[in-house]
Every structure is written in C-alpha cells, then in structure tokens.
C-alpha cells in the first residue's frame, strides 16, 4: 500500500523579485511601512510589558487591578493585530522584515541566477546600500557595488 508524503509537500509561492530601480523608486513607500512596522512592534512590546508588570504585582489583585489587567491584555492584543496588519502590507509586496525594531527589511532580487536580497535600512542615509545572497548568514552585508555596474549612466543589477 502506498503512503502519502504527509507534510513534505509545500505550497509554492511565486516571489516577486525587484530591480534596483524599482526598489529605489519604492523607497518612500517602503520607508513609511518599515517605520510604521517599527512603531507597531514597539507598541506591542510596551503593551506586553505592561501586562507582565500587572501579572507580577505582589498580592492578590483587587477589582481595579483585575480591570487594569484585562484592559492591558486587550491593548496588547490590539497592538499585536496592528503589527500583523502592517507586516502583511509589507509581505504583500514580497518584502520581508528582518528586524522591525531596527528598521531592517529584505527586498528580493536575482543576481547570477540566485535569489538575493537588498538589505533595506530605514535609518541609513542610503537605505539600500547593502545586499546578501539568500544562502548567506543573516548578518552578511555585501556592498551594493558588487552587483551594480555603471552602464550608460544607469545602474544595472
């Protein structure tokens, strides 16, 4: 009797790859979303810290303490939802958050027939200054000059 390969088949998703020019043109929009993602993440972290403080308060909570804890939990859930909504807005463009608090995102492109990523840093004066191959360690930062050439006054990736 044949067995099905349960769990081994993955859904395939086509990844939109970007050109350098497309990534540069999208910089204002990407920056806006990455900054919003950062703010939402910090809000969620702050809300969860408030819940933890209330849960760890000494003694048995009184009525006001119970209400405050439930309100803090509600705020934490809402903050998580806002973060997820903003993250999905980024993911819908096939751009991935590397570290929301540091304002880092990865924009896919193809270099030498391999998947690679522009490393988008919202806090850098030049937000698209580095790149990495998909197989590189996450910390890898290669200079953009490795993938770009000057050709008739334009950058080619």
Structural domain that includes position 97: 20-156
Rounded mean pLDDT, 94-116: 96
* Residue linked to tokens 């934490």: 76
Looking at residue 78, what is its pLDDT? 98
The answer to the question of residue 83 being in a domain is yes
The answer to the question of residue 66 being in a domain is yes
The answer to the question of residue 1 being in a domain is no
The answer to the question of residue 4 being in a domain is no
Retrieve residue 120's tokens: 């988008």
Give the integer Cα–Cα distance in Å for 85 and 93.
13
Task: Identify the H or E element spanning 131.
Answer: strand 128-133
Helix, coil or strand: residue 137: coil
Find the helix packing angle between 63-91 and 27-55, rounded to 10°. Answer: 160
Indicate the number of domains in the chain: 1
Rounded mean pLDDT, 117-132: 96
The answer to the question of residue 132 being in a domain is yes
The answer to the question of residue 3 being in a domain is no
Looking at residue 12, what is its pLDDT? 77
- Residues above pLDDT 70, as percent of the chain: 87
The answer to the question of residue 106 being in a domain is yes
The answer to the question of residue 113 being in a domain is yes
Q: Residues 54-74: pLDDT tens digits? A: 999 998 989 999 999 999 999
Residue pair 20/148 in contact (Cβ under 8 Å)? The answer is yes
Residue 48 has pLDDT above 90, yes or no: yes
Looking at residue 7, what is its pLDDT? 55
Residue 136 has pLDDT above 70, yes or no: yes
Least confident stretch, 9-23, 68-82, 113-127? 9-23
Rounded mean pLDDT, 28-39: 98
Retrieve residue 33's tokens: 């979303």
């Amino acid at each position: 009797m044949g067995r099905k390969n349960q769990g081994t088949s993955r859904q395939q998703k086509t990844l939109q790859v970007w050109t350098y020019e497309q990534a540069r043109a999208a910089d204002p929009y990407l920056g806006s979303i990455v900054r919003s993602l950062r703010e939402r993440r910090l809000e969620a972290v702050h809300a969860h810290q408030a819940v933890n403080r209330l849960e760890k308060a000494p003694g048995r909570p009184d009525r006001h303490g119970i209400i405050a804890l439930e309100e803090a939990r509600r705020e934490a859930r809402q903050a998580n939802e806002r973060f997820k909504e903003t993250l999905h807005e980024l993911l819908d463009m096939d751009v991935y958050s590397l570290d929301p608090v540091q304002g880092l995102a990865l924009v896919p492109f193809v270099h030498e027939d391999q998947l690679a990523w522009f490393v988008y840093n919202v806090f850098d004066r030049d937000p698209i200054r580095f790149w990495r191959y998909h197989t590189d360690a996450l910390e890898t930062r290669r200079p953009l000059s490795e993938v770009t050439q000057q050709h008739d006054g334009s950058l080619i990736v």
